[in-house]
Amino acid sequence: MTLPSHHIDINQADFIANPYAQLETLRNEMPSYHDPVWNKTFFTRHAEISSLLKDKRLGRTMLHLYSREEIGWPPPDVRMKGFRSYQDNVFMDMEGKSHTRIRSLVTKVFTPKRVESLRGRLEQTTHKLIDAVQADGKCDFVHAIAEPLPVVMIADLLGIPESLRHHLRPWSNAIVKMYELGYTDEQVDEANRAATNFMEMIGELANERRAHPQDDLISDLVQVNEQGETLTEDELRATCIFLLNAGHEATVNGSSLGLRALFQNQSQFEAMKEAVLQNNSSLLKSAVDEMLRYETPLPMFERYVLEDMEINGVQLKRGSEVGLFYISGNRDSARFERPNELILSREDNPLLTFGLGTHYCLGAPLARLELQVLFSVLFQRLPNIHAAGEAQFAKGFVIRGLEKLPISF
Ligand code: HEM
């Protein structure tokens, strides 16, 4: 089958704010297409995205199988040296043995018990953030609550001292710009600087924890050992930074997009209020998943094709790239009943928001807990919460979120 050719400028403000109609048309009329500008084959349906994510013939890299020359990749871009010193050691971008080794080491210390132990601190932090704005009767939800909460939690979990925490958000922000399709020279410089400084800071903290271990993930990762396997120094630093970044970027966007979705769906807003008042934890859980399905904070991920293959008549060549619109799969009527409606009590909800397969989000239990606690405390404390102006989307589609969500209460 010859693939249709089609281009979407995913960085257009209109598409970022509301990609749903275009993606629905594509699901119906052109479920996969080749985009000559991004040079990728995009998939839009839930079924194909799910099966590709579980398919070992695709990977986040090819370098575990082939050298750069064999794939025909140019040598690494020297302009990106600082950024690469970090990114090349991020296990999310590894495949095969290296990925399995580091993922199992991290899983050994980032346990469900450790996540659950954060509940009290999460509640306390959310209350504190609300205390700070309650008397004003209004605030920007993103800056006052959505952003600081996951940053505090992930910094606590890793063990970043208060005095260094102000670096986390700006450095992380500079680094994640490299994941968008398209960036400027200035953004490359900033990402290099941020990654270099970040690697250095974590290295110093790791040395401290080697000498004086504490009850935190940096100390655990310094010591972790599974059948003789440990993390190298660069892997250790990059893993900590990756957890810090992954641990807040998407959660900030998940909670602010979720609250906006509630404002736009009055009956579901009331249902959420009711669930919190009645302490209905099962509805709260399904509500958080539904908000994360309805608005997907990380809408698109890419994979390399590791060997020539075919899916539903679409030929994929070794070395080519695919783009998977998780955000589109999450609204697919072939998989979800009434996909364009926010239904907090939705039971059958195989959301793609946390991915699937080998790279399934390691932080999903923490993200879910954070959002459950946040919405629960928010509606208890501010039952009259409402939108107080236009929400404003941030630039960038690959990491999709709000820059502003004015609220009053
Ligand atoms: C709403 C919040 C979050 C969303 C939407 C999200 C989404 C995702 C997705 C889609 C992936 C897979 C990427 C792919 O398919 O290529 C992923 C991987 C990952 N996430 Fe999350 N995430 C969230 C929060 C977190 C948190 C709080 C943490 C940890 C502290 C975290 C840590 C990770 C890690 C370590 C991976 C890499 C797993 C691997 O490659 O084996 N995430 N996340």
Of 14, 17, 73, the C-alpha closest to 261 is 17
Global confidence as pTM: 0.95
Distance CA(44)–CA(356), nearest Å, equals: 15
Query: Ligand 1: distance of its center to the CA of 358 in Å?
Result: 11
Closest approach atom of ligand 1 to CA 303 = 16
Query: Ligand 1: distance of its center to the CA of 370 in Å?
Result: 14
pLDDT of the residue at 382? 97
Does the CB atom of residue 355 touch ligand 1 within 6 A?
yes
Residue with tokens 């275009």: 22
Contacts of 85 (CB under 8 A, 6+ apart): 195, 196, 199, 234
Ligand 1, atom 16, residue with closest C-alpha: 301
Does the structure show a pLDDT above 80 at 234? yes
The domain ranges of the chain are 13-408
Half-sphere exposure of 225 (CA within 13 A, CB side): 3
3-state secondary structure of 42: strand
3-state secondary structure of 138: strand
* Count of other CB atoms within 10 angstroms of residue 118: 18
Of 255, 277, 261, the C-alpha closest to 143 is 255
CB 329 within 8 A of CB 335: yes
Does the CB atom of residue 96 touch ligand 1 within 6 A?
no
Domain 13-408 is in which class? mainly alpha
pLDDT of the residue at 182? 81
Distance CA(325)–CA(361), nearest Å, equals: 16
Of 109, 361, 374, the residue with max ligand 1 atoms within 8 A of its CB, to mutate for a pocket test, comes to 361
pLDDT of the residue at 340? 98
- Percent with pLDDT over 70 in the chain: 100
Distance CA(200)–CA(195), nearest Å, equals: 9
Q: How far is CA 281 from CA 123, 199, 255, 271, in A?
A: 15, 40, 17, 13
Query: Ligand 1: distance of its center to the CA of 307 in Å?
Result: 26
Ligand 1, atom 25, residue with closest C-alpha: 363
Closest approach atom of ligand 1 to CA 326 = 10
Distance CA(334)–CA(111), nearest Å, equals: 35
As a whole number, mean pLDDT of residues 360-388 equals 97
Ligand 1, atom 9, residue with closest C-alpha: 354
Assigned token pair, 15? 């598409």
Distance CA(289)–CA(295), nearest Å, equals: 10
Query: Ligand 1: distance of its center to the CA of 154 in Å?
Result: 13
Does the structure show a pLDDT above 80 at 30? yes
Of 343, 373, 363, 167, the C-alpha closest to 268 is 343
Does the structure show a pLDDT above 90 at 180? no
Does the structure show a pLDDT above 80 at 1? no
Query: What pLDDT digit, counting tens, does each position of 94-111 carry?
Result: 999 999 999 999 999 999
pLDDT of the residue at 296? 97
Query: Ligand 1: distance of its center to the CA of 131 in Å?
Result: 30
Does the CB atom of residue 339 touch ligand 1 within 6 A?
no
On the 0-12 / 13-18 / 19+ scale of CB atoms within 10 A, 220 is: buried
Q: How far is CA 131 from CA 97, 323, 374, in A?
A: 47, 43, 14
Ligand 1, atom 34, residue with closest C-alpha: 362
Ligand 1, atom 17, residue with closest C-alpha: 361
pLDDT of the residue at 86? 95
